[in-house]
Structure 1
Amino acid sequence: MINVFGAPPQGIQPAPHDPRIVAAGYQVAVREVDLSGVRDKDGLMLALLRGLGLSESFGRNWDALYDVLTDPGARPARFALVLCDYAHFRKRHKHLGAELEAVLLDAQRDAARQDRNLWLLAEEPDHDPRHW
């Protein structure tokens, strides 16, 4: 498998095994968002708040998420967001997953225009690259 951090971010990509260890070698900051317990949009926003280490003042809406991910003062220039249990989340919550993906990909494009890197990495429990 090609190391995702050796190339510019391209959509939502499979997370490497031990993403934090791999990212450290490329000076990429990593945060993980656990989607396994998400039941609705409120739960998703809470998971994002926790995973991104945001304050309670986080607006808990799509615009606020976009702003947090694209604000140069809030995120390092080389940043990876690991979405834990992403495939299962998308299956359980098709509409919510599509909305999340749209915001994440918009933020990724905006980051690229600012000469910043925002990797979006999908990690599954018991990750086995042969299942991708």
Structure 2
Amino acid sequence: MIQIFNEPPQGLQTAPKEPRIIAAGYQITLREIDFGTIHDKESLMLAFLKGLGLRDTFGRNWDALYDVLTDPNQTRPRYALILCDYAHFKKRHPHLAHDVEQVLLDAQHTAAQQERQLWLLLEEPDHDLKG
């Protein structure tokens, strides 16, 4: 299997097994966003605030999220977001999922134009892996 971090980021991708260990080996900064408790846009923005380690001055809107993800002073040149429990979130909140995906994919595209890499990795809880 080709190691995900050997290839340029390509949209939303399934996280490899042990992504934290693999990312460390490739010297990729990794942050986790927990979608398991999100129920509206405010809780979504709080999940990014917490997951990205942002200050309370974070604007908590789509433009602010895009700006943080595309600012070379805020993120490393090789950066990965693990989107935890995203599939359930997307089923529960399809419109919110559409909006956040647009921002994430736009940020990934802009990062590539800046010769930076932003991986968007989907990781589901173990209880989803049963038959």
Q: CA deviation at 1:25?
A: 1.1
Using the alignment, how far apart are the partners of 1:117 and 1:78 within structure 2?
A: 5
The alpha carbon displacement at 1:93 in A equals 0.3
CA distance in 2, matches of 1:65, 1:18: 26
Q: Which segments of 5 or more consecutive residues in structure 1 lack a partner in the other structure?
A: none
Distance 1:24 1:6 in 2: 13
After TM superposition, the score normalised by the length of structure 2 is 0.95
Deviation at 1:17, TM superposition (A): 1.3
Letter in 1 for 2:15: A
4+ long deviations beyond 2 Å: none
What amino acid is aligned across from residue 65 of structure 2 in structure 1?
L
- Within-5 A mapping of 1:60-79: 60-79=60-79
Name the Cα RMSD after superposition. Answer: 1.4
Q: In structure 1, what is the Cα distance between the partners aligned to 2:2 and 2:94?
A: 29
Unaligned runs of at least 5 residues, structure 2: none
Spell out the pairing of 1:7-18 with structure 2 (5 A cutoff): 7-18=7-18
1:31-42 equivalences in 2 (<5 Å): 31-42=31-42
Matching residue of 1:96? 96
Q: What is the percent sequence identity of the aligned residues? A: 62
Task: Give the count of matched residue pairs.
Answer: 130
Partner of 1:111: 111
Q: CA deviation at 1:2?
A: 2.6
Please state whether the residue corresponding to 1:21 is helix, strand or coil. helix
TM-score by length of 1: 0.95
Letter in 1 for 2:124: E
Structure 1 SS opposite 2:100: helix
Q: Secondary structure at the match of 2:81?
A: strand
Per-residue deviation, residues 74-116 of structure 1 (Å, max 9, x unmatched):
0000000000001111000000000000000000000000000
- SS at structure 2 position matched to 1:118: strand
Distance in 2 separating the partners of 1:27 and 1:67: 23
Q: Secondary structure at the match of 1:31?
A: strand
Q: What SS does the aligned partner of 2:76 have?
A: coil
